[in-house]
Amino acid sequence: MLTWWISEVTPMAVTALLPILILPFFGIMKIEDACTPYGDKFVFLFLGGFIMALAMEKWNLHRRLALNIVHFTGTGANRIILGFMLASFLISMWISNTATALMMFPIAMSVVTLLMTDSHHYSEKGKRNFSTSLLMSIAYGSSIGGIATLVGSPPNAAMAGILQTNHNETVTFFDWMKLGFPFAVALMLITYWLMVKVIFPNKLGKFKLGKEMINAELNALGSWSKAEKRVFVVFVTTALLWMFQEKIAPLVLPLQIGDVGIGIAAGIILFFIPANDKREPLLEWKDSEKLPWGILLMFGGGMSLAKAFKQSGLIESVTHMMDHLDKSNLVFFVSILCLVGLVITALMSNLAMVNIFVPVVASLAVAAGKSPELFAIPVTIAASCDFMFPMSTPPNAIAYSSGHIKAGDMFKAGIVLNLVSFLLLTLLVWIAL
């Protein structure tokens, strides 16, 4: 499976179906047991998140929110870059980083085009650095935003599913945010500062036409429709329930539905709430054709593989082989695991990296007498910190395809940001342990 995922000889979702055939064939587990993880509760957590994101995209709510954030940040060239990065960051906390990047890039390209035709005599280097920073800030903001929440990026929920399957350890939405959100905010702010002040300084100052472009886009959207308002209410309510359910749970004790129940309830409600006076619902089943079903299969395949790791004794064998490693300094030890994760995720998809590496990391935590999540969460965060190559993540590829970014520029920025990510992960590990 690892070879197929790296070489992509077939779609990754197809590779994720292999455990159903291979594990029973080799007698590792019954076919019923191999299929069970495909219905794991974390598969449905992401399904609920996907449905909510689908409603936001259908009614253009994500575009309105993004434009308002960019409008709020100001008229300076660097402030426009901050606005696009912040918008990408906040939106990708809840919908896929790929969808966020695809939404933001046409708006950003309009701003870049205006800059190139502006009557002001900006330097060519300044214009080039602005264009590069603006487009890369969307790619990086989209990837970093996915780190902040449990539903922000597929590897996050996959890790939670692996810990539940292999160690009966539950990672809640709030458990993840306690570590993921501060890390993501810190990385985003450092990334922005490095991009505009150190790596690609533009020194353009005020950029009036960029602001005019954003205003024109907002005016084109018009006033909030009833559908947008209703999707926004569902979105905010769901986010608040996910974040504060531990405080709310005692009030509704018989309804202990957790993160998954909240996500699925939000998804179901969207099929009932009318979008307008004609009673058309916010979502219809035909809209579900746009859901990324392949990602859900990859969740299931990864967790089935993780279950086989444990049941076959492979995890115990690998853990035993690593027993000779010095664990006296746990901060150093876990930091090295994060570094290994950063290297691995450069070679394969971040979801594949988590499916392969997290089961081993979690077992090492147990062997060291620590909770599995203290090792697994930092390593999973590392899976989303690959900024160096166009093929590293879909947002990177989208940015590179614009024609305004050279591979060398992305590598120059990415290698600095990968180093910053490692240092922040080391700090995170030190705080957590």
pLDDT at residue 21 in the model: 93
Quick one: DSSP state of residue 196? I
Asked if residue 181 has pLDDT above 90, the reply is yes
- Structurally, the chain folds into a number of domains equal to 1
pLDDT at residue 322 in the model: 67
For residues 61 and 54, is the Cβ–Cβ distance under 8 A?
A: no
Quick one: DSSP state of residue 224? P
Please report, as a single letter, which amino acid is at residue 163: L
Q: 312: which 2 tokens?
A: 């076959």
pLDDT at residue 241 in the model: 80
388-429 pLDDT, tens digit per residue, is 877 667 788 778 777 778 878 888 898 899 999 999 999 998
Asked if residue 175 has pLDDT above 80, the reply is yes
Q: Which backbone phi and psi does 390 adopt, to 5 degrees? A: -60, -30
Quick one: DSSP state of residue 26? T
Q: 14: which 2 tokens?
A: 């197809």
Shortest CA distance to 188 belongs to which of 142, 154, 155, 228? Answer: 142
pTM: predicted TM-score of the whole model, two decimal places: 0.74
Asked if residue 250 has pLDDT above 70, the reply is no
| Confidence band, pLDDT 50/70/90 cuts, at residue 147 | very high
Q: 290: which 2 tokens?
A: 């746009």
pLDDT at residue 7 in the model: 74
Q: Which residues contact 76 (CB under 8 A, 6 or more apart)?
A: 204, 205, 206, 207
| Cα separation, 161 vs 23, whole angstroms | 19
Asked if residue 114 has pLDDT above 70, the reply is no
Which 3 state secondary structure label does DSSP give 281? strand
Asked if residue 382 has pLDDT above 60, the reply is yes
Domain that holds residue 142: 2-432
pLDDT at residue 166 in the model: 83
| Cα separation, 304 vs 209, whole angstroms | 53
